[in-house]
Each structure stands twice: as C-alpha cells, then as structure tokens.
Amino acid sequence: MKFRLSLFAIVVLVLAGCKKDPPAPPAPAVASFTINCAAVTVQGTYTGGLTLNNTNTITVPVNVTQVGTYSVSTATINGITFSGSGSFSTTGKQSITLQGTGIPVNNSTYFYLISAGAATCSFPVSIITAPSGNFDNDHMLFGNPSRAATIIDSTRNYLLRKQYYALSYNKDRGTPNWVSWHLFQNDLGSTSRQDDFRTDNTLPAGWYQVPANAFSGSGFDRGHNCPSGDRTSSVDANSSTFLMTNMIPQAPVMNQGIWANMEDSLRRLVNQGNEIYIIMGSYGTGGTGNNGPATTVNGGNVTVPSTVWKVALVLPNGNNDSSRVDNNTRLIAVNIANSNSSTGSWKNYRTSVDAIEAATGYDLLDRLAPVLQGVIEARVDNL
Ligand code: MN
Ligand code: MN
C-alpha cells in the first residue's frame, strides 16, 4: 500500500514536470471606481523652491465597483505632479495614495484634477512660504530682502521662487528688484550657454511680459542677474537663466568687464571649496550704455537702473549653513553705477551691506540674528 502510493506520487510528479507552461493568464481588467472627492486629504508640507519628498502624498478614498488595475496622475501644475498606480483585488470602499513629485514654484494655492474613467475631482494644495527651520542651500535661506510676496496686488515686489533662483519682480520697471541664489559645486558643470532668451510666462495673467528682443538696438546688454555661468549643471538649469525676468538693461562695458570678472571670482571661490549665497539687485533710473544715457528701453516698458549691486555670503562647504555664519564670515558687497564708465577691478567698488540697505530700503540677510547682521553688514570686505 505504502509503496503503491509513493509510486503514484512519483508518476504524478513526473507528469507535472513534463507539463508545458500554462498559457499566460489574461491581463487584469482595468478597475472601475468612484472617488469621494470631499474626503481627499493632502499630507505633507509644500514649500516653494523645496523638492517634494515621500511625506508629500494625497490619500484618495475610492469605492471600487470592479476589481483590476488603476493608474492615476494629475497634470503638472506649479512644478509638481501627483501620481499613483496599483490594483484593487476587492470591490468596495478603500483608498489609494498618490505621491507628489517635483518642486513647487510659487507660493499660492493651486487646484489639481484627478481623473479616472468617469470619476473626476479637483482638490486644492497650498504652497507655503519657506519655513523658519533649516532648509539648507535654499535660494532664500538668509531671507527675503524686500518681503516680496506672490500676490497679484504686489505688483512692484512680486515673489517668484524658481527652481534655480528666486526673485522679486517689479512690473512697473519690467525688471527684477533683486535675484537671490545659492551657488555650490553641484551647480557647475559642462553645459554650454543655451542663449534661449525668452519671456517669462509665469507672471500673472495680464502683466506685460518683456520680450526676448526688448533691449535690441538700445545700447544695453541683456544683463543676467543669476549668471548663465552659475548654472551649467544641466540644459534645464542653464536655460532657466535666460528668462527675461532675470534680466536688466546693463551697460555693456560694465556687464562684460567688471561684472563678468566678479562672477568669475565668485565661481573661483566655489572651486576652492566654498558655497555662496548671492543676491544681485538694481535700483534708480538712468544708465549709460553704448548709445549714451537712457532712462528706459523697449518703448518705456523697461527701466534702465542707475545702480547695480551684489552681495555674496561665502561659507566653506558644509551643512546647516545658517548656523555656521559667525562674526568672521566673509561677506562681499559691491555697488556699481550702470555705466560704460564703470571699469577696473570690482574690488574697488566694495562697500558694506549696510550701505546697500540704506540705498535700497531693504533688509538683507534678515534671517540672521540682528546682532550678527550688525557685525558683518557693517564691514567692508578687503581680501
Ligand atoms: Mn550647504
Ligand atoms: Mn540686514
């Protein structure tokens, strides 16, 4: 009896072993479900300029009427997208999770639409301004000099937090008031200059968008604030610097001479093991370019600034940057007339941050302790 059973088992096993692979099961059906829009919940903190991580998810309650696979994704709005896929093995109420990816650009509230078959719903995600905690290497780590805001009424001081820099835009002048960016080794690569000057269509609807050719024939360069040379890690990074919201009409001799030399000097500091927080701004009306003095270009749409400034806070490479600034931190500031007669070494135009604050009414580095600002902002760099 025992022997017979074993023999039977062996025969079955051999037969099973010889059997051909079964035909592939049919592809699973696509699930059908409805979405409980009112109960969609958004998790995580959304901060302009900061990359989303695994805490940035959305829970979507669904009622499954037919099992099968699902793949749900929103459009990319304000730089971020939510998506998720998987399968339902049972019908009835359950939930799916969508993961957020990307970097929010502007600090405002945006609506995202989920669409799955007949099921659609839209839900709001609010992007907040930068938190007061540590957010190392953020373009605005040390502050918002003019308290710019992404509100449509803030026409002369409109905050645009982009992936590769942040800026305060002045609709009346057609230029940025200032542009702020972090520069470190990872920003410096081998990408060539893209030269794709273009309008910035992220400005609020109805605002004049300075066209790519706005300065042609004016005798002024399209002067980058955040330089092309500071963003060579990728085509996307370099291309971002050619938006017209990053440009001022800049005196060519000054732009290509003194200003380019200072940009090179700062990149050299990065190559020597430093990271730098840089803010460039401009103010006043009337500069002198290749065709002599001018107060505006582009038919009056763009103001020619009289003065251009730059502030650079230099730190040895490291983490927790805001806690590493002390009384000895190198802080370089220059203030230079927007004129073809501004020549020579940029070092001859050094001044204190206090002097730039007095001229502009801004509070630079306002997230540093006031006592610390008092020390380093009063000093004039002499290295
Ligand atoms: Mn750092
Ligand atoms: Mn200050």
Do residues 89 and 179 both lie within one domain?
no
Percent of residues, the chain, with pLDDT higher than 90? 67
Q: Which ligand places an atom closest to the C-alpha of 187?
A: 1
Is residue 97 domain-shared with residue 230, that is, in the same domain? no
Alpha carbon of 136 to ligand 1 centroid (Å): 6
Q: Decide if 139 is inside a domain.
A: no
- Establish if 7 belongs to a structural domain: no
Domain shared by 173 and 299, yes or no: yes
- What is the pLDDT at residue 20? 57
Q: Are residues 167 and 276 in the same domain?
A: yes
What is the DSSP code string of 14-60? HHHHHSPPPPPPPPPPBPEEEE-GGG-EE-S--BTTS---TT-EEEE
Q: Is residue 148 part of a domain?
A: no
Query: Number of structural domains, the chain?
Result: 2
Same domain, 90 and 164: no
Domain assignment present for residue 252? The answer is yes
Q: Tens digit of pLDDT for each residue in 117-137?
A: 666 788 777 765 554 445 789
| Cα 2 to ligand 2 centre (Å) | 93
Claim to verify: residue 118 and residue 54 sit in the same structural domain: yes
Q: Which ligand is nearest to the CA of 143?
A: 2
Is the pLDDT confidence value at 5 over 60? no
* pLDDT score recorded for residue 128: 59
Whether 65 maps to a domain, the answer reads: yes
Q: Does some domain include residue 152?
A: no
The pLDDT score that the predictor gives to residue 253 is 98
Same domain, 120 and 173: no
Ligand nearest to the CA of 361: 2
Domain CATH number, residue 64: 2.60.40.10
- Listed in order, strand segments (DSSP E) in 184-306 are 221-224, 247-250, 274-283, 287-289, 292-294, 296-297, 302-303
> Tell me: the pLDDT tens digits for 273-301?
999 999 999 999 999 999 999 999 999 99
Check residues 158 and 55 and name the one with the higher pLDDT.
158
Q: Are residues 178 and 56 in the same domain?
A: no
Q: Just list the catalytic residues.
A: 224
Domain that includes residue 333, residue range:
158-376
Measure 6 CA to ligand 1 centroid, in angstroms.
71
Distance 318 CA to ligand 1 centre (A): 5
Half-sphere exposure at residue 348, Cβ-oriented, CA atoms within 13 angstroms = 7
- C-alpha gyration radius of the chain: 28
